[in-house]
Amino acid sequence: MGRGRGRPETITATKFVDDTPPAVQMTRPLCVFPRVAKYNRTGGTNAAANFTCVTDENDFNQKPGP
């Protein structure tokens, strides 16, 4: 569970092959803002387990508009 009030830190998103369960094409963690999912550089990029939620870096995502 996440910080306070029983909220999860991440939710795992699932993409199914041809958008039809049960065959899973890939999974990714959805992180609580302002954290973002960053690839750990080990294992395949189709598994959520190979990503970690980290504090956003200046060069990782675009900055919001004014």
Longest CA pairwise span in the chain (Å): 43
Tokens of 50: 């190979």
- Residue spans of the domains in the chain: they are 10-55
pLDDT of residue 63: 62
Which residues face 16 on adjacent strands? Answer: 24
Average pLDDT over residues 23-33: 95
Average per-residue pLDDT for the chain:
86
Nearest to residue 24, comparing CAs of 6, 44, 53? 44
Question: Is residue 1 over pLDDT 60?
Answer: no
pLDDT of residue 33: 87
Question: Phi/psi of residue 19, each to 5°?
Answer: 55, 30
34-47 tens-digit pLDDT: 899 999 999 999 99
User: How far is Cα 55 from Cα 39, in angstroms, rounded to an integer?
Assistant: 13
